[in-house]
Structures are given as C-alpha cells and as structure tokens.
Amino acid sequence: MEWIALLALLAVLAVIGFALVSQRRPRRPGDRDVLQRLRQDGSDLSQPHSVEFFLHFPTREVALRIADVVSADGFKASIGPGGGSTYHILLAAKEMVPVASEIAVIGMRFAGLAAAEGGTYEGWTATMVRSPAGAA
C-alpha cells in the first residue's frame, strides 16, 4: 500500500510541477497575431515596416557576440540591460514588408541562435505604416 501512496504523491507533484512551469511565462503573441493586430490598427502590410526582433541573453558578452551575427545578416543590432539587469536584450531591427512566412523563418533562426547561447527569442513588433497619401 505504501508504494501506491508514493505513486499518488509523485503524480500530484508532477501535475503541480507542470502547472508551475506552464504558468511561469505568459504566452507571447504568435506571428499571425502580431500581423493581425497591425492590420486592425490600420497598418498597410504591403509597405515596408521597421520590424524589431527581441532576444534575451544571460550576459552582455553573449549578446554582443550574437549582435555581430545578426548584423552580418543585415539587421541593425542594439543591446541594453533587461529588467533588473539580470539579462541583456538584443534588439535586431530591419526594414521589411512584414510577411508571416519570412517573419517565421527569422524567428526560427533567432530562436536557434539564442538557445545555443543560453538565451531566448522573445518575439517581434513593428511600427505602424499607413498607406501613402492618395493610395486607394
């Protein structure tokens, strides 16, 4: 009987652990969610936007190393301290037409770069761009 109680306790602990891990970080909006929000706010998604991708790293040195990589890929990179200075944010910006498939490819690349260095890819945002004056 003791082993049944032990198994039940382990099952409860596993459920609690899963709940804590899954609630630790809020779900970030998906690429299509961000594009939909831009569209709803009146942005013309057929025009180039300033698109900014956010990566978090444990040290400034790692962020600088990855900044060199993304700069070589045509992104403008800047680094700043994260909240409470426990991590460093790499902001990689590029002028581009925000297309879901291209954003997804960039996101996967950045997620891989970040994971390889103990960091995380946090997502992206873009400035709003209205249709040029006189455009239908």
In the chain, where the domains are located: 28-126
Q: Which fold has domain 28-126?
A: Alpha-Beta Plaits (3.30.70)
For the cut 70, the answer to whether the pLDDT of residue 2 exceeds it is: no
CB-count exposure of residue 111 (10 Å: 0-12, 13-18, 19+): middle
pLDDT over 60 at 9, yes or no: no
Question: 3-class SS at 76?
Answer: strand
Lowest mean pLDDT segment, chosen from 16-25, 93-102, 126-135: 16-25
Residue 98, φ and ψ in degrees, nearest 5 = -75, 100
For the residues 47-54, what does the mean pLDDT come to?
A: 96
The stretch 40-65 carries a mean pLDDT of 94
Summarize pLDDT for 81-113 with one digit per residue, the tens. 877 667 899 999 999 999 999 999 999 999 999
The Cα–Cα gap between 49 and 58 comes to 29
Higher-confidence residue: 82 or 37?
A: 37
Residue 57's pLDDT is: 95
pLDDT of residue 131: 80
- Per-residue pLDDT at 117: 95
Question: CA-CA distances (angstroms) from residue 38 to 46, 66, 76?
Answer: 12, 28, 22
Which pLDDT score, from 0 to 100, does residue 30 have?
84
Reference 29, options 126, 130, 124, 133; nearest CA is: 124
